[in-house]
Amino acid sequence: MECSRYKTYISPFSSRYSSKEMLFLHSAEYRYTTYRKLWIALAQAEKKLGLKITDTQIRQMQKAADKIDFEKVQKYEKKFRHDVMAHIHAFADQCPKAKPIIHLGATSCYVTDNTDLIILWESLELLLGKLYQVIRKMTSLANKTKAVPCLSHTHLQPAQPTTVGKRISLWLQDFLYDFWIWEHYLENIPFLGAKGATGTQSSFLNLFEGNQKKVKKLDELISFFMGFTRTFTISSQTYPRKFDLLILNALEAFAASAHKMATDIRLLSHMGEVRENFSQDQVGSSAMPFKRNPIYSERICGISRFLISLAQNPAYTAATQWLERSLDDSSNKRLSISEAFLSADAILNLLHTVVEGLNIDRETIDANLQKHLGLIAMENILMEAVKRGGDRQKLHEKLRKLGTKSQKSSASLIDKISKDKDFHLNKKEIDKLLQPKNFIGRAPAQVTEFIENDVSPILDRFKGKSSKLASVEF
């Protein structure tokens, strides 16, 4: 039997990258069963506030809520050229007694936009839990390596040493900023509620015969039934498209953090200082059997670039919404919002895999440091030589010339300095000056302070709320 999956395009997010949990949140099943839950919530709230809606009608809707006939929906959509109307009719066919009151007083955005906000909330909650796990793993790794000296690089040239844990802490700090922003939005996502065709709630005011208190209460009840504590106080037919822009900007910022870290790991992998975990049967190259490419870090960079590019979409959408609304946002939102969350989800799964299996090669790290330590230590050598009676300007010029000729070999540089009587230093004395711990400053203490002051409060506060991370299979 032929496999149909190879005959039609399937998004790599579905087949390779994203978790089942995130894929489900952005599935047709989840979206359209949420439509039905919103229609039920609307009917329940309207009944509670005095409209003639029966328990039988509501029970019938509840019974059919998760039994969507998608073939019938497709037939209706071909007929009406309107997806929400197609779902209304398909739902009404399943609960005929409720047919007269389904979608009563509402506009399409009552279900589409409120559903979007629910999916945003659920997706962000899933991502936040995963980011918590990545932060926890990175914190442990930073703490273990906070005092391991390594060669630092500025302009990708050897620079004053730092520590492995300090470098990891810099990546971690970026993710903390992302965590704080995501948590803020998660705690403050409002619901659209029932705002009507242009946001004035006019249709609901008519239903409740001009009773403004009941219309306001309708908003509150629907939001409560759907798990929200607040609504947009003011809106047009839609919730403000600026909100999508803010959310995707937050995902974009996370993608930048991930790209930076993954790029650094790729560079360090080239230097031999760190390596991704490499499975027993893994093939690094179809042509070169010896290759051990950092494939997951490369993939993080690729998907991060895609996510960064997606953030332009809500910017254009927010900028081009005509007056109370236009419909060019709908098709774009279907693509960009879901793809952005699926991208972030895939990146988090990959980050967890990379951090959990990161191999730190201390021998290579030390060898790379020792290779350049003589050049880096020039200032310390100069200061010590001056203390012993040397001429600062004369010695500085000698070191400049020696350094220019000895860029690739600290050993030859140290040998030449020890043999020059003007420095008043023998090789043993210079070696004492070259202890790596003398060059890392407060890096170990900074890592400790960072974990205690910035990271631990988040780890303690968010304990037990983490999400399941999907394993990376390919």
Q: Which residues are catalytic?
A: 155, 285
The one-letter code for the residue type at 2 is: E
Alpha helices in 272-409 (DSSP H): 295-310, 312-319, 328-356, 362-376, 378-387, 392-405
Q: Please state, in angstroms and rounded to a whole number, the distance separating the CA atoms of residues 53 and 46.
A: 8
Q: Please state, in angstroms and rounded to a whole number, the distance separating the CA atoms of residues 374 and 137.
A: 35
Instruction: Give the burial string for 263-277 (b: 16+ CB within 10 Å, else e).
Output: ebbbebbeeebbbbe
Both structure tokens of 116: 């979007």
Please state, in angstroms and rounded to a whole number, the distance separating the CA atoms of residues 96 and 61.
9
The enclosing H or E element of 116 equals helix 108-144
Residue closest to 48 by CA, chosen among 193, 221, 231 = 221
Which residues have a Cβ under 8 Å from the Cβ of 107 and sit 6 or more positions away? 196, 197, 203, 237
Instruction: Tell me if residue 227 falls in helix, strand or coil.
Output: coil
How large is the angle between the packed helices 378-387 and 362-376, nearest 10 degrees? Answer: 50
- State the amino acid at position 456 in one-letter form: S
Rg (CA), the chain: 31
Residues 6+ apart with CB under 8 A from 321: 238, 241, 329
* Residue 36 DSSP SS3: helix
Of 452, 465, 446, 356, the C-alpha closest to 162 is 446
